Amino acid sequence: MNRVQLSIILLLICTSVVTAGSDGTFISSMDVLKWENVATGVWKASIGTKELASMDYAAPLKLKALSDMGQAQFPFEPKDTRGQLNASGVNIRLPLGASEKIYGLGLEFQGLNRRSNVYHLKVDHYGGVKGYTHAPVPFYVSSKGYGVFVSTARRPSFYVGIGNRKDSKLPPYVDRTTGGSKWSARPISDAVEVSANGQGLDVYVFGGKSPLEAVRRYNLYCGGGVLPPRWGLGFWHRMHTRSSDADILKEVADFEKYDFPLDVIGLEPGWQSFAYPCSFDWDKTRFPEPKRFLDQLAQKGIRVNLWENPYVAPTSTVSEAIKPYTGSHTVWLGEVPDYTLEAAQKILLDHHQKNHLNIGVSGYKFDEVDGYDVWLWPDHASFPSGHSAVQIRQLYGLMIQKMFMDRFREMNKRTYGLVRSSNGAASSLGFVIYSDYYDHEGYVTALVNCSLAGVLWTPEIRSARSDEEWVRRFQSVCFSPMVQLNAWSSGTKPWSFPKVTNIVRDAIKLRMRLLPYIYTAFYDYNQKGIPPFRAMVLEAGFDATEEIVGGKLDGETNPYAETTRLETTDQYMMGPSILVTPVFTGQKSRKVVFPKGNWYDFYSGKLVGNGETITIQTKLEQIPLFVKDSGIIPMMPPVNNITNTKGTIDLEVRHYGQKENTYMLYDDDGQTFDYEKGICSVTELRVQRQDGKLTGISSTIESKWPSRYGQISWKFMSQ
């Protein structure tokens, strides 16, 4: 720390005032934060000096969409919001009610409520440490309906209702010896406190009346959610790492032979002339004519996604050019580019443009941008931009996503890919997070938590120990943002477990049938900020105050049952109306927790519940799906390749329940950004009651692009 920095800190300490909080308590040595209304329902406060931060990588905010949501109330008494810059860095303190539950803080494989814990948010392989994860997004959502985002490239620590300042409102003192169960090792705290090294950060508050409103505002402020190319929502198959072009063409033929959908082929490390670190150059032994090979796949409508990590091998044709823009340390003896520098970005992007994109590559899988400390650069490494090693590492996955998204946008081509780490402000980026972690239940929990962080997650399949596990994993991934079999090491195929091949095929084809519904859900993510796959706490009618479950204990509501309900992590919503309840190996039955309102079985249309918890018997051949009352579900015939499906597509539109409803079915060219200019199609699907009977009507609302959807037949599942 230099003398100027020290002088600033001392000045701040000396000029801080002791001010009374709204409850009469005193918060000393912390300044009241000054809030600026930066968009409808969004406020920002800054502390200290501007530094590199995740919000720097956000897409332009969607002002109109935020305005359309209407104004929201600032959730705090402004004088109770505090910030401080001192010798240890920056810290903030925001009020927290005694009954509030806190969700979010990024991709986590366990739990949902973050209350009464400490999270040190660090980009890392998941190792069971709270906050050490692939996407440690510093955004949390309160059960009261607001959200808070801390924009920084540092590693912030969140003390969520834990740790009591001596000048705050303290809970009653309890003697451990005599107090019994009233004594707590974690006394309740009245605040969320956040600390980070560095000279400054920005804090954003997103208002709302429900957690979903806060999440929507956060996503919209970061540019809205990504709208993937249509092919990206089909079936992905990643080849064994040593596969050649001939091996891949044979495997494609096998997909046709076994009647399995296939939209994307993923090439793993062996496509390159050198990997770990990477050359980014084609291996001429396995792929002597890359363009010819890509053209052959393109004729079948199959896209190609390339694996790589960002560390440059000495043998790479870009090695010498990028060397001046790399850090002091290597990873696997490869140079580490500083992608905060435009020169470094240009060298890598131009190489990819010439050797990959111009000949037909559709996207990338960016691996090893999370990594353990033992193989990534140390915290004391230096980079030519002057940013710290920690800052570069925290945002490295985010930087790579943004630079490639910008290049694809210049080409007017949408992309969809995979990334091993991400951070805040990433909702508009076309990448899905994956992991070496492989616990099935944890995978589903991660899917739930990602909806609270503005990122996407795939519970990809790699292997299984039984026919049952193979089926259950396929069923889960078919109801996620990306359906992928990652056979880079195992070499497995969808038909590798012959006894259940038909069941696996049926699961994938059901996914394909639901593409009009899923694609529209992603459009709502893009335009309205609504996560296409989302936690139950974001669904209306799913809250403890309803007191629907749990029964009574001695005439009082059972608080444990209410907490259990709110923290459900083994089910989630897909789109506006479908409730997905994955089944795990060995489960002959499972519980399903319904929000308030009638819910119907997807397959039969029968009424199964309203606001309560039920137990269902599982079937190997089906993943349990339920549809809310008035749900409208457009479905297309099953296809084995999205791109090569020609002509108009007729739809079966299902309606569940007894209520009238309107659904806006979205369509566009499925591959460019022209939809941002309004070149798209919106069809209104309306169900109304006439003479005591439900009928369906469709009409075109907006059509600057000729929709591929043709004849519509209605199917009323609950009549």
pLDDT on residue 169: 83
Provide the residue type at 707 as one letter.
S
Ramachandran class of 345: left when φ > 0, alpha when ψ lies in -120 to 50, beta otherwise: alpha
Of the chain, the percentage scoring pLDDT greater than 70 comes to 93
| Residue 718 contacts residue 656 (beta carbons within 8 Å) | yes
pLDDT on residue 15: 38
Task: Lowest mean pLDDT of 116-130, 151-165, 342-356, 594-608, name the range.
Answer: 116-130
- Strands 533-534 and 572-574 turn out to be antiparallel
User: Which element (helix H / strand E) includes 150?
Assistant: strand 147-151
| Residue 615 contacts residue 587 (beta carbons within 8 Å) | no
Partners of 574 in the β-ladder: 533, 578
- Strands 709-716 and 649-655 turn out to be parallel
pLDDT on residue 21: 47
The average pLDDT across 273-285 equals: 97
User: Which element (helix H / strand E) includes 666?
Assistant: strand 661-667
Could you report the per-residue pLDDT of 164-180, keeping only the tens digit for each? 888 888 888 888 888 77
pLDDT on residue 171: 82
Torsion of CA 442, 445, 447, 450, to 10 degrees: -120
Q: How far are the Cα atoms of 27, 29, 191 from residue 19, in angstroms, in the given order? A: 6, 9, 16
CATH superfamily of 3-221: glycosyl hydrolase (family 31) (2.60.40.1760)
pLDDT of 495 higher than 70 = yes
181 vs 194 pLDDT, higher one: 194
Confirm whether 235-415 and 632-716 share one CATH topology: no
178 vs 124 pLDDT, higher one: 124
**Average pLDDT of the chain to the nearest whole number:** 92
Q: With respect to CATH, is domain 235-415 assigned 1.20.1250.20?
A: no
Could you report the per-residue pLDDT of 3-52, keeping only the tens digit for each? 434 443 433 333 343 444 444 444 557 899 999 999 999 999 999 999 99
Could you report the per-residue pLDDT of 639-656, keeping only the tens digit for each? 999 999 988 999 999 999
Domain extents for the chain? Answer: 3-221, 235-415, 533-574+578-628, 632-716
pLDDT of 526 higher than 90 = yes
pLDDT of 559 higher than 50 = no
Is the overall model pTM greater than 0.85, yes or no?
yes
Q: What is the CA radius of gyration of the chain?
A: 26
Residue 257 sits at φ, ψ, to 5 deg, of: -60, -45
For 522-645, strand residue ranges (E) read 533-534, 552-553, 556-557, 572-574, 578-580, 589-593, 598-601, 607-610, 613-617, 625-628, 632-635
State the maximum Cα–Cα separation within the chain, in Å, rounded to a whole number. Answer: 82
The average pLDDT across 97-103 equals: 94
Neighbours of 630 (CB within 10 A): 20
pLDDT on residue 129: 80
Residues 6+ apart with CB under 8 A from 594: 579, 608, 609, 610, 611, 612, 613, 614, 626
The average pLDDT across 298-314 equals: 98
Tokens 């300042």 found at: 165
The average pLDDT across 204-210 equals: 97
For 459-526, strand residue ranges (E) read 483-486
Task: Lowest mean pLDDT of 363-377, 536-550, 654-668, name the range.
Answer: 536-550
pLDDT of 442 higher than 90 = yes
The average pLDDT across 491-510 equals: 98
Q: Which two tokens stand for residue 26?
A: 């005193």
For 311-434, strand residue ranges (E) read 363-366, 417-419, 431-433
pLDDT of 361 higher than 60 = yes
Please count the residues of the chain. 719
What does 198-250 look like in DSSP terms, one character per residue? SSEEEEEEE--SSHHHHHHHHHHHTT------GGGGSEEEEPPTT--HHHHHH
The average pLDDT across 451-474 equals: 97
Nearest to 230 by CA among 583, 709, 566, 712: 709
Q: How far are the Cα atoms of 95, 176, 222, 557, 563 from residue 188, in angstroms, in the given order? A: 12, 15, 33, 21, 17
Rounded-to-integer distance, Cα 32 and Cα 30, Å? 7
CATH superfamily of 533-574+578-628: Golgi alpha-mannosidase II (2.60.40.1180)
Tell me the angle at which helices 440-450 and 467-477 cross, rounded to the nearest 10 degrees. 10
Task: Classify domain 632-716 by CATH architecture.
Answer: Sandwich (2.60)
| Residue 573 contacts residue 599 (beta carbons within 8 Å) | no
